[in-house]
Amino acid sequence: MLQRRNVVLSQMAKYGYLKPAIADSVKKLPIELNFQIEDHNSGRATYLREYLRNIMRRPEPDRNKYVQQASYDDALWQWQNDPLYGWCNKNKKPDGTNYDVYRDGLKIYTTLNSKMQQYAEEAVTEHLSKEVQPDFYHTAKYLKNPPFSDDLTRAQTDELLMTSLKQSERYYLMRARGYSEDSIMLAFNTPVRMKVFSWKGERDTVMTPLDSIKYYKYFIRSGFMVEEPSTGYVKAYVGGPDFRYFKWDAVTQQKRQVGSTIKPFLYTIAMQNGYSPCYEVEDIPRTFPVGDSIWRPKSSGNKAYWGKMVTLKWGLAQSENYISAWLMQQFSPAAVVDIMHKMGVRSFIDPVPSIFLGTSDVKLEEMVGAYGTFANKGVYVKPMYVTRIEDKNGNVISRFSSKIEEVLDDKTSYLMLNLLQGVVLTGSGQRMRREPYNLMNQIGGKTGTTQEQSDAWFMGITPNLVGGVWGGWEDRAIHFLTLGEGQGANIALPIFAIFLRKVYNDPQFGIMETDEFERPAGFNMELDCDRVKRESSRRDNPLKSRY
């Protein structure tokens, strides 16, 4: 290599491209290389690359190969409705054979923005490694059987570990090679040298494979996706902390309980039916008949407001269950399910009165697409990952377009934007306005926290970017002990805030910080609730503010 380099330098000097003295000087220098082969485990957007690789190679669904009917139905729907799903098996080369994503030199153009992807990955790493993970290590010191919650028995935690063991690649390969269960367990309990993940980089160590399973359960996971609402173009996609060690994709592969991020769908129905954000409701307990018993949801708000009249805007900003329960009494659970499905949520949502607590499992991808409807004047756009595919010669062989559907009128979506901005201005999303983020532009959002702080969410909306963050652990039995530590405002919201701060500090994106949500033509509803209340008082009807 050195000799060849020097021949090239001599030729460059001979033909006048380089001065002879410079060529002679450079020839005396050693060759220093920092050559790194980029594979599927390294580089930017590893989770999205793996997602595309998998779905493009999917075969046409065969019912006999699916254990669950729901899984088959989902695959069939994607085969029929998503041109990217199974693309290699739907399209033929000129010779009549299917395309091979590995060998045919395809050029796949994604919707990602490389800088936004970088900022999203940095945001996840910075917040989890510097804030959440150290806090959880501190919490784990006081647990009886860390990292699991104290409300589990030792037998239950052992069962969780064994479940993970049997889902591991090592177990799968040993079973495929015919090893007995005793031999497999012996291997899992024998110390070996290995590289493991740490927030400070890879670490060489010696431990048993079983201990490594427990080691990884300590780590907080997160999924983060950002889209452009007008096109559905996904600008950033982070499926987890590090694809090399955490293969599970929290954006498209995982479904988790969404908590209070489901509440805006209930409020959407109210806005469709003529309610104003300033409509007032008494903040008192509500009851629902459930079979032969009565269900009364607990308050999630400030006791100082119990029994007082509060606005719907306040109810969503504070995520108060009493107000959501009142809305649930006005509308049916089926109506909530219907609006969610229209806004792109395909996961099963149980149509029960407690629907507004967000106990149903939904994909992060679905939630981002649904919230994008609010920012896009009521038009749902399915999240889009690829714009076109070219063959090895640069010929375009497939183009992809956005799938859109008008779900809400622009006035309803604008009212929802007002409600969601209230969350950031005065409610559970206020942290975005404070140090170190200082995000003073137009932002809407909704936090979500599930029972026992097992899942933390934040959905954020700006005029041109909509993002969703989920944070939690591999098992729901691993979580923070207090709401303050484990809530969406603490685990998930900062990731979106860090991302936005990085985006707005970048000169090429800085102008986005001044963009505002567009007010619909002819919209004249008063959204300043203090002014509405004063005007209502003058009309001797202080409780009514419905338009």
Alpha helices by DSSP H, listed for 386-492, are 410-426, 483-486, 488-491
Residue whose tokens read 């048993």: 208
Contact 281, 309 (CB under 8 A): yes
Q: Where are the domains of the chain?
A: 1-29, 148-217, 221-538
Over 60: is that where the pLDDT of 543 sits? no
What mean pLDDT do residues 19-24 have? 83
Q: Which residues are within 8 A (CB) of 151 and not within 5 positions of it... i.e. 6 or more apart?
A: none
Which band of pLDDT confidence, cut at 50, 70 and 90, is reported for residue 29?
confident
Over 60: is that where the pLDDT of 528 sits? yes
CATH of 221-538, one of 2.10.25.10, 2.60.40.1120, 3.50.30.50, 3.40.710.10: 3.40.710.10
* pLDDT value at residue 540: 52
Q: What is the mean pLDDT of the chain?
A: 94
Over 50: is that where the pLDDT of 418 sits? yes
* Tens digits of residue pLDDT in 145-193: 999 999 999 999 999 999 999 999 999 999 999 999 999 999 999 999 9
- CA angle centred on 145, ends 141 and 148, rounded to 5°: 90
**pTM more than 0.75:** yes
* pLDDT value at residue 13: 85
What mean pLDDT do residues 341-366 have? 97
d(CA 470, CA 455): 7
Contact 448, 457 (CB under 8 A): yes
* pLDDT value at residue 542: 45
Contact 277, 527 (CB under 8 A): yes
Which band of pLDDT confidence, cut at 50, 70 and 90, is reported for residue 547?
very low
